[in-house]
């Protein structure tokens, strides 16, 4: 394989590293592009204990019990997408092994795994004004009483389809978006965030 330095993230062309260096502290919202990560789309019957067990054995994580929630911690998480669809995340480079493990565990079931790691860019927004920024483009109620840490939702943000995941305090959100839209979405968010003391991290 070629050197990994030949690899580019979706927003590499924006030169965020240089811009981050020039950044200031005390920002209302801090934007960054998360690095490469593994995302495996899995499909199966959530009501089937064999499927749940297979997922657990291959990933080490139980399927999230509720809609719009995320199970697991760190790199290995399972995000709820729909009644028979989830994303299993992992560290960069785990995709092939994870797909193989999942397909192996699914043997004899109607359940599938499909690598979609490379299709998404992940934008990170954090800081006290993050909800204000997101409210410009998300019609969901993101009030902490309604949407908290560990919750996720597929929805529209600006004119893009995204998966929104509150990963931490601050609040801190991760936004999964198709790479082709990421340049548009970043610029759009950046323009909005300009009114809320924007900081950039690399």
Partner 1 sequence: MLVIPCPYCGPRDEHEFSYAREGHIARPTNAEQISDADWAQDLFMRKNPKGVHYERWMHAKGCRRYFNVARDTVTHEIYAVYEMGQPAPDVKKESGR
Partner 2 sequence: MSNQANRLGTGGRIDRSKPLRFTFDGKSYYGYQGDTLASALLANGVVLVGRSFKYHRPRGILSAGAEEPNALIQLGTGNRTEPNLRATQIELYDGLVAESQNRWPSLANDMGAVNSLFHRLFPSGFYYKTFMWPKSFWMKYELIIRRMAGLGKSPTEPDPDRYDKLYAHCDALVVGSGPAGLAAALAAGRAGARVILVDEQQEFGGSLLHDRQAVIDGKPAADWVASAVAELAAMPEVTLLPRTVAFAYYDHNAVSCMERVTDHLAPNSPDFAKQPRQRLWRIRAKDIILATGAIERPLVYLDNDRPGCMLASAAQTFVNRYGAMPGKRAVVMTNNDSAYRAALDLADAGVAVPAIVDLREDPQGELVAAAKQRGIDVLAGHAVTRVSGKLAVSGVEVMRLSPDAKAVNGPARSISCDLVMSSSGWQPTVHLFSQSRGKLRWEPGILAFVPDKQLPGQNSHSVGAAAGIFNTDACLADGHAAGAMAANAAGCTGSSGDAPTASSEPAAGDLRAVWYVPSSAPVGRQGKHFIDYQNDVTAADVMLAHREGYRSVEHLKRYTTMGMATDQGKTSNVNALALMAELRGVSVPEVGTTTFRPPYTPVTIGAFSGIDKGDFLDPIRKTPLHSWHEQHGAPFETVGQWHRAWYYPKPGESMHDAVNREVKAVRTSVGIVDASTLGKIDIQGPDAAWFLNMVYTNAWSKLEPGKCRYGLMLGEDGMVMDDGVTSRISENHFHMTTTTGGAARVMAWLEDWLQCEWLDKKVYLTSVTEQWAVIGVSGPLASKLMAEVAPELPLDDATFPHLSFRDGVVAGVNSRIYRITFTGEATYEINVAPSYAMHVWRALMQAGEKYGITPYGTEAMHVLRAEKGFIIVGQETDGTTTPQDLGMDWIVSKQKPDFLGKRSLQRSDTGRPDRKHLVGLLTDNPNEVLPEGAQIVAELKDKPPMEMIGHVTSSYWSPNCGRSIAMALVKNGRNRHGETVYMPYDGKVVRAKIGAPKFLD
**What is the smallest separation between the CB atom of 73 and partner 2, expressed in angstroms?**
25
Strand order in the sheet with 38-43: 70-73, 76-82, 85-90, 38-43, 112-115
In 3D space, the residue among 171, 65, 55, 71 whose CA is nearest the CA of residue 105 turns out to be 55
**Applying CB under 8 A, does 178 fall inside the site for partner 2?**
yes
Q: Which residue, 161 or 191, is less far from partner 1 as judged by CB?
A: 161
Using CA atoms, how far residue 4 sits from 9, 35, 38, 43, in Å, is 11, 12, 15, 31
**Applying CB under 8 A, does 179 fall inside the site for partner 2?**
yes
Per rule CB under 8 A, count of chain residues that contact partner 1: 13
Task: Extract the runs of DSSP E, i.e. beta strands, from 23-75.
Answer: 29-33, 38-43, 70-73
**Applying CB under 8 A, does 18 fall inside the site for partner 1?**
no
List binders of partner 2 among 71-90 (CB under 8 A).
none
User: SS3 for 10?
Assistant: coil
Per rule CB under 8 A, count of chain residues that contact partner 2: 44
From candidates 140, 149, 188, 190, binder to partner 1 by CB under 8 A: 140
In the structure encoding, which two tokens stand for residue 156, read together?
């529209």
**Applying CB under 8 A, does 45 fall inside the site for partner 1?**
no
Question: What is the b/e burial string over 125-149, where b = at least 16 CB atoms within 10 angstroms of the residue's CB?
Answer: bbbebbbbbbeebbebebeeeebee
Choices 28-36, 53-61, 105-113, 147-155; region in contact with partner 1 by CB under 8 A: 147-155
**What is the smallest separation between the CB atom of 162 and partner 1, expressed in angstroms?**
8
In the structure encoding, which two tokens stand for residue 172, read together?
């801190």
Please give the Cα distance from 113 to 88 (Å, whole number): 9
**Applying CB under 8 A, does 161 fall inside the site for partner 1?**
yes
**Applying CB under 8 A, does 32 fall inside the site for partner 1?**
no
Interacting residue ranges for partner 2, rule: CB under 8 A: 1-2, 6-10, 13, 36, 41, 43, 110, 112, 114-120, 132, 135-136, 138-141, 143, 146, 158-160, 178-181, 183-185, 187-188, 191-192, 195
């Amino acid at each position: 394989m070629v050197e990994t330095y030949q690899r580019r993230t979706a927003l590499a062309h924006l030169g965020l590293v240089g811009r981050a260096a020039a950044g200031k502290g005390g920002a209302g919202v801090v934007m960054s592009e998360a690095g490469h990560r593994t995302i495996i789309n899995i499909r199966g019957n959530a009501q089937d204990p064999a499927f749940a067990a297979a997922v657990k054995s291959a990933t080490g994580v139980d399927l999230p019990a509720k809609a719009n929630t995320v199970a697991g911690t760190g790199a290995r998480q399972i995000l709820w997408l729909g009644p028979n669809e989830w994303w299993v995340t992992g560290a960069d480079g785990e995709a092939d092994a994870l797909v193989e493990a999942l397909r192996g565990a699914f043997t004899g079931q109607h359940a599938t795994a499909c690598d979609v790691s490379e299709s998404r860019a992940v934008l990170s927004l954090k800081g006290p004004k993050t909800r204000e920024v997101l409210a410009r483009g998300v019609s969901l109620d993101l009030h902490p009483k309604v949407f908290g840490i560990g919750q996720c939702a597929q929805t529209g943000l600006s004119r893009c389809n995204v998966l929104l995941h509150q990963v931490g305090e601050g609040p801190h959100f991760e936004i999964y978006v198709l790479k082709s839209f990421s340049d548009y979405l970043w610029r759009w968010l950046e323009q909005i965030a300009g009114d809320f003391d924007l900081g950039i991290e690399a």
